[in-house]
Structure 1
Amino acid sequence: MISAKGLSGGEGRKLFPYISRELLAGMVATFALIPEVIAFSFVAGIDPEVGLYASFVIGIVIAFFGGRPAMISAAAGSVALVAAPLIHSHGLPYLLAAGLLAGLIQIVFGLFRLSVLMRFVASPVRTGFVNALAILIFSAQLPQIFAANMQGLLLIIAGLGIIYGAPRIIRAIPSPLIAIVILTLVTNFWHLPVRTVADLGRLPLTLPHFTPLTIPFAWESLQIIFLPALAIAMVGLLESIMTAFVADDLTDSNSNKNRESLGLGMANIAASLFGGIAGCGMIGQTVGNIRYGGRGRLSTFAAGAFLMILILGLRPWVSQIPVAALVAIMLMVSVSTFNWQSIKDVRRLPKLSAIIMLTTVLVTVFTHNLAAGVLAGVLLSSLFFSFKIAALIKIHIIEEADSRIYQVKGQVFYASADMFIDAFEMKGIEGRSVTIDLTHAHLWDVTAVEAFHKVQTRFRHHNVDLAIVGLNQASAVLIDKLDPE
């Protein structure tokens, strides 16, 4: 039993400010979330209610099961871009099924602790991913800009002016929210002939409800949704883990990336079962939540809960928001997402790093597939790394009267195995003894062992007295395990 003294004393004084700070931070994150979620729904080609339902469900579930307190997750632009082709070709039911499968993939990643694989996504690949995302978000707005009338174009320009100008006057209210309020008032006061959110599709009338899957339970359906689901899962994991790293830096703390993968998978399964699109971590909203004081799970919960309270309570007003305001917000998101420093860095970065970053961007932009771009970047960075490590192998030859010593230094694996074999010259070796010194070398894989056996066979074919010295225990165990004899 808690005494009145305990409740009103030190514990109470600590508890109530914490709760109020967390709630207010979550509410601010919600205000920054609403316009982007509606805009991302617009980009994906789905009704706003699909993105809003998803963001509410994801926010609630991730608050309990996520691995990074104070992190905001919702229907995000990166996932919307990946999901858009599936929606256009097969419709919303297949998107919900793909989101469900993506959630299962993310849970598998979490259970088997595979989130550690994200560490192999090199910095140039991450930069390329972010820049490609910014370019795709920007390009997705071009059809709306070209189709807009003069009033719509003026509203877009005015919206950008408010978004970038308002923070100089007031910082307590997110500038995208100010832009939405002003542009909506202007549009209604002058009855401007421009498209509004109501023209994009339905807004929520009720709380999310269970939505059973309606696609055929057949192999053909799995073939349709598997690759989009895999792309949604990988992009969502990458974006969420990158967001978690940002939150870790801002709060000087560590988070459980495997638990975040589990929580995200559970959230996306729940969102799909309640009629919403899959989502992931939102970098901008997470940074805003933390800067306004959010540190715990309560702020994440508040952002999700307040989102639905606000939408259901202000639905008539939200439906009147001009599409031009959403376009202005997405242009701002694109500009702020792009890593402008990377343009300068291209000149000073090593050429291979610059090539990796540019390849990630180009593959993503031309395929409109963020997962394909990241995969290309990872493969290219792995290839360059292998070549770099392979080039580090050195074999020094010491010639003596009746013997030859090979001193091997470096890593012998699939990329350096041929160099290892070519270094052992058979010419003039008859009648001499040979010593291979592996004190400063290591055999890593099957290819390395095969190369080692091939060198031994060559020397034996020439009737050479061969001695192997300095073989470390790990290499010796691998050789014994793979010994063809």
Structure 2
Amino acid sequence: MFRPKLLDTLKDYNRQQFIKDIMAGLIVGVVALPLAIAFAIASGVSPEKGLYTAVIAGFIISVLGGSRVQIGGPTGAFIVIVYGIVQQFGINGLIIATFIAGIILIIMGIARLGAIIKFIPYPLIVGFTSGIALIIFSSQMKDFFGLRMGEVPADFTDKWQSYIGNFQSVNIYALLIGAGTVAVIALWPKVTRKIPGSLIALFITTAVVQWLHLPVETIGSRFGSIPSSFPSPVIPDIDFATIQKLIAPAFTIALLGGIESLLSAIVADGMIGGNHKSNTELIAQGIANIFSSIFGGIPATGAIARTATNIKNGGRTPVAGIVHALTLLLIILFIGKWAALIPMAALAGILVIVAYNMSEWENFISVAKGPRGDVAVLLTTFFLTVLIDLTVAIEIGMVLAVFLFMRNMIKFTDVNILTGEHTDKEEGRDKEAVSNYAIPKDVEVFEINGPLFFGAAYKFKDAIRFIKKPSRVFIIRMRYVPIIDATGIRTLREIHKESKSRGTTLILSEVHSKQVIDELRSARLLFAIGKANVTDTFARALRRSDAVINEVRSERKLY
């Protein structure tokens, strides 16, 4: 359940791979620097908190994680939820929510829920990811255009109304810095992919602003100097009342972190031909978030873009992730103070690119052209994320996806009357069709096709109403019933009870599924119906029907 990949990779580790890991780690550490600062500022916290998170969480995720190449740290996906928590509960509330989220992630890993998270509907993921991307883009307009305005409203519509109302205050220098950053990041890959475009853009824009003394806001002018040391660890004071207030956002952090980390690990597996350990990864993510919160950091998870950068530069073991964290630590200790010179417009330009890459607009359009149920989940999650809240979006999106799945499952469950004036739909193709057998006059045959669960049980009840008069024997064919739940058990029990009161013998035919047999046995329904009345073939069900009818006739002759 918990075995870090680091232990597996060190068995056949060599000097050549060590050099590759060091180079990849150095490059990813440099790539992570502007992103960690930008994500922290966009989340409503000071820039150093993003750096602390990248170092502490990045180190722990690499040492204890279940992926060979996963790079952990703050990501754009958390911006929306972190900003909302900070606005509502303050920095202390964020620290406690992150701490609780870490505990939840550990519990999820211990409970082996790693595989389950992989099955979260794709339209739901695309919906909230695209929604987050739009919110990130919207949150950067003040700094991108250098607008002279007060605090940016949290609400999406209020935010844009405020932008429009203050648009006359555009700082042309900030706009040029922001647009120049976007242009450099977009065009730099044509020069080389070894050095990240975001870093080049920061160097160029910072140098231009300082050299020309441009009147634009910088990290230093807004937040002051960046500390060159780590804060002391502080375990948050948590009581039951605090847990009640923060459990919902903490659960959202945990779910979002689990989803993104495992998605990143899956993408990484595809790139290196590996196989990550999902439950180990969840536990590592939980431990990383606990320690991040203790040092005043923000939520962390696996970062897809940084993980891909690690792989492309030769990283193949967790050593690269460890080097990435140590690189950031050295930057903080020795040259972190120079980060205060970075223009806010440049960070806004970086986040505009992040939002564009995160939007997955091609996937959004592809899902929007798909089945109506997927479109409903996609648009519901997207608009709720943008207009209401990410927590609400995930909750309602999941509920909607489950209901739509149930509806589709119900469509696959069929209940057919196969005797009397009704015919077997499969009689031309099915060797075991009822039409191939001689059915006694006093026998009624039903067949259930598909799962007999609470969503489909009503179909069975409705079908039984078509029986005009009680028959001597009532056969239910269950050869195509893979699963049954408590509602299905209850429905069969009611039918058995009603049949018994009418003097009808109930026979269950072709119960092949082990799950169905186990549920019938544990509910003692097999005992109630009688072992002789549960058959493995339809032919035996008919022979049992003949025996029951003959017994009834014999009893009549006696009386």
Normalising by the residue count of structure 2, what TM-score does the alignment of the two structures yield? 0.80
Query: Among 176, 183, 186, which residue is 1:154 paired with?
Result: 176
Cross-structure match for 1:210 = 232
Distance of aligned partners of 1:346 and 1:438 in 2 relative to their CA distance in 1, 3 Å threshold: closer
Q: Residue 78 of structure 1 aligns with which residue? A: 77
* Alpha-carbon distance, 1:133 to partner: 2.2
Q: 1:475 to 1:17 in 2, by over 3 A?
A: closer
How many residue pairs get aligned? The number is: 472
Return closer, same or farther for 1:442/1:344 CA change in 2, 3 Å cut-off. Answer: closer
Percent of aligned positions with the same letter in both sequences? Answer: 26
Q: 2:118, 2:259 within 8 Å by CA — same for their partners in 1?
A: no
Query: Unaligned regions of 5+ residues in structure 2, if any?
Result: 1-12, 148-169, 421-438, 529-559
1:283-362 matches, within 5 Å, as 283-346=304-367, 348-362=369-383
CA deviation vs aligned residue, 1:15-66 (integer Å, no higher than 9, x gap): 3332221111111111211111111111111111111111111111112101
Q: How far apart are 1:391 and its partner, in Å?
A: 1.4
- 1: CA distance between counterparts of 2:375 and 2:214? 47
Bigger drift between 429-438 and 51-60 goes to 429-438
Task: Please tell me the residue identity of whatever aligns with 1:134.
Answer: A
Q: Higher relative CO (CA 8 A, sep ≥ 6), structure 1 or 2?
A: 1
Matches within 5 A, 1:251-266: 251-266=272-287
Distance change (3 Å), C-alpha of 1:155 and 1:439:
same
| 1:227 counterpart residue number | 248
Q: Please tell me whether the aligned partners of residues 483 and 516 of structure 2 are also in contact (alpha carbons under 8 angstroms).
A: yes
SS in 1 for 2:256: helix
- Using the TM superposition, give the Cα deviation of residue 459 of structure 1 relative to its aligned residue in structure 2, in angstroms: 2.9
How far residue 73 of structure 1 moved from its aligned partner, in angstroms, is 0.6
Matched, 1:460 2:460: no
Distance 2:225 2:460 in 1: 66
Alignment counterpart, residue 410 of structure 1, candidates 433, 450, 455: 450
User: Is 1:179–2:179 an aligned residue pair?
Assistant: no
Residues 199-235 of structure 1 deviation map (CA, whole Å, 9 limit, x = unaligned): 34255434424332465x4333222322221111111
Match of 2:34 in 1: 35
Aligned counterpart, 1:3: none
- Report Cα offsets for 1:246-302 as digits up to 9, x if no partner: 111111111001101111111111111122112111111111111111111111001
Do the aligned partners of 1:443 and 1:449 also contact (CA within 8 Å) in 2?
no
User: Which 5+ residue runs of structure 1 have no aligned equivalent?
Assistant: 1-13
Query: Which of 389, 397, 417 is 1:377 aligned to?
Result: 397
* Aligned match of 2:223: 201
**CA distance in structure 2 between the partners assigned to 1:322 and 1:431 by the alignment:** 85
Counterpart AA for 1:302: V
User: What's the CA shift for 1:433?
Assistant: 3.2
Structure 1 distance, partners of 2:373, 2:287, is: 38
* Equivalent residue, structure 2, for 1:4: none
Partners of 1:465 and 1:93 in 2: how far apart? 67
- CA distance in 1 between counterparts of 2:364 and 2:104 reads 35
User: How many Å separate the matches in 2 of 1:309 and 1:184?
Assistant: 21
1:364 has 2:385 as partner = yes
Q: In structure 1, which of residues 472, 475, 480 is the aligned counterpart of residue 516 of structure 2?
A: 475
Q: Is the 8 A contact 2:385 2:393 kept in 1?
A: yes
Whether the aligned pair in 2 keeps the contact of 1:96 and 1:213 (CA below 8 Å) is: no
Q: CA offset at residue 132 of structure 1?
A: 1.9
TM-score, normalised via structure 1 length: 0.92
Q: Which amino acid in 2 is paired with 1:423?
A: A
Q: Which amino acid aligns with 1:462?
A: R
Q: Which residue pairs with 2:411 in the alignment?
A: 391
CA RMSD of aligned residues (A): 2.2
Separation of aligned partners in 2, 1:334 and 1:322? 19
CA distance 1:53–1:359, change in 2 (3 Å): same
Contact residue 470 and residue 504 of structure 2 kept, 8 A? yes
* Structure 2 partner of 1:20: 19
Which residue in the other structure is 1:139 paired with? 138
Q: Matched residue of 1:208: which SS?
A: coil
